[in-house]
Amino acid sequence: MATFQYEALNAQSGKTEKGELSVGSQAEALARLQEMGLAPIKVDAVQKAETKKGKGKRGGSRSKKGAKKGLGDLEIKIPGLSGRVKEKNLTIFTRQLAQLTSAGLPLLSGLRVLEKQEKNPTLRNVLGDLAEVIEGGGTFSEGLAQAPKVFNKLFVSMVKAGELGGVLEVVLDRLAQFMEKAMKIKGKVKAAMFYPIAVLVVAVVIMGILLVFVIPKFKDVFADMIGEDGLPAFTELVLSISDTVRMNAIGTVSGVFACFFTFSMIGRSNYGRYILDKMSLFFPVIGPVVEKVAIARFSRTLGTLINSGVPILQALNIVKDTSGNVVVARAVQDVHDSVKEGETIVAPLEASAVFPPMVISMVDVGEKTGDMPQMLEKIADTYDEEVDRAVESLTSLIEPIMIVFLAVIVGSIVIAMFLPLIVMIEKLGDA
């Protein structure tokens, strides 16, 4: 618990009140003041007084300018990892800023409060830059546009629409809800894919250990007792694979990395990315999950943008850039072109073969009734639930498949090693 000194305006009496609160963070202090019916003006953490022992020796306390940085103040930058703002950090920032602005705190004060408590150095610097832009007379959206690596087009456009409509706090709340739901879905999909990937890695490691270290010892034993010519065909196959892997270990590893590199290069090209995304949509077992996630993301993004006051054509461009799937992006581009020419949204969606008839019908109804944002939100909520069920089904299906796969791999190697023993026992029986 920390202690915060506050200065706030009492809305009923019109007088300024001062006091202290013991809470976990500045955001909690601001929320507590709101519950008390006070409008925060200033909230600062109470600094602990230095002890006499710290002041006495070595020339007393140092000024801020001349203070040396301790180990805790050093910012260590790791190549490839520094300068990143995780989606979780950005979501938390958006939610906290929405809460602060809804509580009546000015935007500039809210940014300064969040800057002080932010632990991510990149995001902290960005928040400081945002505050400086606003202090210089610029708008919040202009400051966001100066940090494209942190705030995407969707974020900037929604904030700009909120500023123009005078409902920034409402838009920030919608944006926070959107990001929280998107992160929730992504987390569920990642959790579902973690198990099969982990099992696959374990299977590869076990196979490598058996092929490189265990099987060669059996080969020597078999050569002494039976001879290489008397081995079963399946055993010879496993032994030859072991010899290939062991003698060409560097080449095997290089081949695996080459496959991954080739796959990634194909994914970076426009046509290759389109093919991979199309395969992911129609691939057995995994395809339905990818399709439902894509539809939910499309519906929620477009619905949130339109509901926040973003023009339809601009909203469609943002949806296209943030879809995460080239097939869906092309469908959205067709929708954009159709709307630009004064036509409907339904025809391009139907022609894409990505969106099911139910979604197309609901969009058609929303377009005709003028209730498009609410209809898109309903579609998104429906498909969020569908994603949950699909992920559960996928997890329950993948688990036995991966167990059987691992059992087949290890069991095949064990059987190959036991077959020569059966041959040897038969020879002893004949003798």
Q: What CATH number does the domain containing 350 carry? A: 1.20.81.30
Residues 226 and 109 both lie in one domain: no
Phi first, then psi, for residue 288 (nearest 5°) are: -60, -35
Position with higher pLDDT, 141 vs 59: 141
Question: Cα-Cα-Cα-Cα dihedral of 35, 36, 41, 46, to 10°?
Answer: -100
3-state SS assignment for residue 21: strand
Q: In the chain, how many domains are there?
A: 2
Position with higher pLDDT, 50 vs 276: 276
Residue with tokens 């004064």: 342
pLDDT digits 0-9 by tens, 277-328 = 888 888 877 788 888 888 888 888 888 888 888 888 888 888 888 887 888 8
Structure tokens at 415: 């059987």
Q: At what angle do helices 372-430 and 286-307 cross, to 10 degrees?
A: 160
Beta strands in 233-342 (DSSP E): none
Give the model's confidence band at 81: pLDDT under 50 very low, under 70 low, under 90 confident, else very high.
very low
Output the pLDDT for position 429: 67
Nearest to 417 by CA among 294, 271, 237, 295: 237
Say which range, 18-32, 50-64, 141-155, 411-425, has the weakest mean pLDDT.
50-64
CB 123, CB 90: distance < 8 Å: yes
CB 239, CB 231: distance < 8 Å: yes
Residue with tokens 């270290």: 213
Residues 6 and 25 both lie in one domain: yes
Q: Alpha carbon 204 to chain centroid distance?
A: 27
Nearest-angstrom CA–CA distance, 153 and 288: 28
For 136, the domain range is 2-46+83-177
Structure tokens at 217: 């010892």
Instruction: Name, in order, each residue with C-beta under 8 angstroms of 135's C-beta and a sequence gap of 6 or more.
Output: 108
Nearest to 349 by CA among 361, 65, 313, 17: 361
Output the pLDDT for position 152: 87
Domain edge (last residue) among 152, 177, 202: 177
Output the pLDDT for position 73: 38
Domain edge (last residue) among 177, 207, 228: 177
Instruction: Name, in order, each residue with C-beta under 8 angstroms of 265's C-beta and a sequence gap of 6 or more.
Output: 272
Residues 190 and 171 both lie in one domain: no
Strand partners, 17: 8
Output the pLDDT for position 61: 37
Phi first, then psi, for residue 27 (nearest 5°) are: -60, -40
Nearest to 295 by CA among 367, 365, 187, 376: 376
Output the pLDDT for position 68: 38
CB 215, CB 420: distance < 8 Å: no
Nearest-angstrom CA–CA distance, 427 and 315: 78
Residues 266 and 171 both lie in one domain: no
Residue 75 resides in a domain: no
Residue 69 resides in a domain: no
Residues 115 and 251 both lie in one domain: no
Residues 193 and 272 both lie in one domain: yes
Residues 231 and 97 both lie in one domain: no
The CA R_g of the chain, rounded to the nearest whole Å, is 31
pLDDT digits 0-9 by tens, 50-70 = 333 344 433 343 333 333 333
Domain edge (last residue) among 177, 199, 222: 177
Residue 195 resides in a domain: yes
| pTM of model > 0.85 | no
Dihedral of CA 182/295/156/103: which sign?
negative
Residue 138 resides in a domain: yes
Nearest-angstrom CA–CA distance, 116 and 133: 17
Q: How much is the average pLDDT of 379-394?
A: 85
Output the pLDDT for position 127: 92
Residues 239 and 298 both lie in one domain: yes
Nearest-angstrom CA–CA distance, 11 and 26: 21
Residues 130 and 186 both lie in one domain: no
Say which range, 179-183, 189-193, 365-369, has the weakest mean pLDDT.
189-193
Output the pLDDT for position 238: 85
Q: With pLDDT > 90 as the criterion, what percentage of the chain qualifies?
A: 5
Residues 347 and 391 both lie in one domain: yes
CB 159, CB 168: distance < 8 Å: yes
Nearest-angstrom CA–CA distance, 129 and 135: 10
Say which range, 10-19, 115-124, 296-305, 379-388, has the weakest mean pLDDT.
10-19
Residue 72 resides in a domain: no
Which bin fits 324, alpha (ψ -120 to 50), beta or left (φ > 0)?
left
Nearest to 106 by CA among 37, 39, 175: 39
Residues 213 and 330 both lie in one domain: yes
Q: With pLDDT > 70 as the criterion, what percentage of the chain qualifies?
A: 85
Q: Does the pLDDT at position 264 exceed 60?
A: yes
Q: How much is the average pLDDT of 237-250?
A: 82
Residues 401 and 427 both lie in one domain: yes
DSSP string, 309-337: T--HHHHHHHHHHTSS-HHHHHHHHHHHH
pLDDT digits 0-9 by tens, 123-135 = 999 999 999 999 8
